[in-house]
Each structure stands twice: as C-alpha cells, then as structure tokens.
Amino acid sequence: MKKRFMYMIGAVVLLSATICQAQDATTGDNVPPYELNNLPKVDINKFPKNAEGAYVLFNGKSMEGWRGYNKDKVPGKWMIEDGALKFSSKGSGLTKEDGGDLIFAYDFRNFELEFEWKISHAGNSGVFFLAKEVKDQAIYVSSPEYQLLDNDNHPDAKQGVDGNRKSGSLYDMIPAKPQNGNPAGEWNKAKIVVNNGKVTHYQNGEKVVEYTLWTSDWTTLLQASKFSQEKWPLAFELLNNVGGASKSGVIGFQDHGDDVWLKNITVKVL
C-alpha cells in the first residue's frame, strides 16, 4: 500500500509540472506546452568585421558558426558552391534527413542583417530572425519570415492577401511594396533592420515593409494571418512574444525543398 501511495504522489507531481508548463506557455487556455532547446552558441566576437563594422557571418569559404535548427551540425543539403551558401534539393546520397533549416548560432537583438539571394525556378524559401529553437517545432513557429520567392512561377505569389507572400514580404502578413524582386536565377539584395522592436525590410535598395513588434498592431496582424490564436495557438503565443524575455534570437534560412543561394551575409549589431 505504501509503495502504491508513493507512486500516486509521484504521478500527481508529474502531472502538475506538465500543467504548469502549459499555463506558463500560454496567453489562452488552448496552447500546448513547449520546450526550448539549449544548444551550443558561438562567440560573435571571434568573427571578423567588414569596413562598415558588420560581422561577416559567411565569407564564401567556411560554414563556421552555422548549424541546423535544433541540430548540432550543418545538414548535408547545405553546402558551399562557387562562394555561395546553397541549399541543394538534390544531392548524391542525400535524403530528407539531410535537410532542415540552417541557423547562425548566436542570439541577436538589435541589428542590421544584409545578404544577397537568388532562387531556383518556382522556388520558395525564407529568412527568419529572433527565432527560438523550440523542440519538435519548425523555426517559423517562433519567428517572423522575410519571404524569398520566385514571384513569377511559384503559386504562393498568388495566395495570401494582396501579395503578402511575394519576395521581401512579411510572410502572410504585410506585402512588400513596391514589389521589386528579380526573377529566378538573378541575385537580389536584402536587408532586415531590427531596432527596439521596429522592423524594416529592404529589397534591392528600397524599403518595402515596416512594422513594430510587441504592440497591439502586431497582435492584430497575427490574428489576421495563418498564425492567429484560433488557427495556431502555439505559433500565436510565440510570435506575439517574439524573442521571448530577452527579445533576441537566431537568424535562419529555410529549407523549403527548393534550391536557394545566399552570399555576402553580414550583421551589424546596433
């Protein structure tokens, strides 16, 4: 009887911990519990700076500082090709398990991220920032997305609202205007500025999107998107509190199954 009693106490304690985890993770009653992975990060001060004072995250030769999202190594489908960082949809001996999103393993808070990108025919990808590594979840559950897309040939360009899934857009929330993305196979220049919650997207030298995190307007945007509290409670909870208590997170590039190339990746800390 004593053993059975102690077992019942242990079960109640375990159940209480799970319920507390669910309550701590919510702004409502229907958000499932989640767990953040605590994987290794890099010392940003070990990376060189360019003439503008920005850290060089990718120099065309090394993938130092990079690893898979929720992984301890670089996935095999990410490689260096002609000085560019490339996600390859196909590769000799590679399987789906060799894919996955790629992150630079450092938590940035206020910064200017610049890079160049090009996409394959009918290709789709994205850029994430202030992301957390949530166990058993995709990166976009906790991060805004700067869309990378072949606007002419991928069906996403005609979905969403008012072009808010075209390149440079805040995915599924704010369309990039003017829409000045270059066609598949041509290089584009992108810049994302995050400064005390104000976020600005630039595409090919023009400001195309602007919004402010952690505001009622931001919550309204989420509620009108696929990340609403009703449609996706966990994503709403995490995105409504982007960056968590530290208001910081990792930068990542998406494996959407299509070839994408990236180069000249730099971050200036503000």
For residue 92, what pLDDT is reported? Answer: 61
For residue 13, what pLDDT is reported? Answer: 33
* Cα torsion angle, 131, 136, 138, 141, sign: negative
Q: Mapped to the 3 state alphabet, what secondary structure does 17-48 carry?
A: HHHHHHHHCCCCCCCCCCCECCCCCCCHHHCC
For residue 163, what pLDDT is reported? Answer: 96
Write out the two tokens for 94.
């590679």
CB 168 within 8 A of CB 176: yes
pLDDT tens track for 231-253? 999 999 999 999 999 999 999 99
Residues of the chain under the 50 pLDDT cut: 1-28
For residue 210, what pLDDT is reported? Answer: 98
CB 170 within 8 A of CB 222: no
Q: Report the distance separating Cα 270 and Cα 268, nearest Å.
A: 6
- Residue (of 82, 37, 79) closest to 255 by Cα position: 79
Q: Which residues pair with 190 in a beta bridge?
A: 115, 203
For residue 90, what pLDDT is reported? Answer: 82
For residue 159, what pLDDT is reported? Answer: 95
For residue 33, what pLDDT is reported? Answer: 87
Write out the two tokens for 226.
């696929």
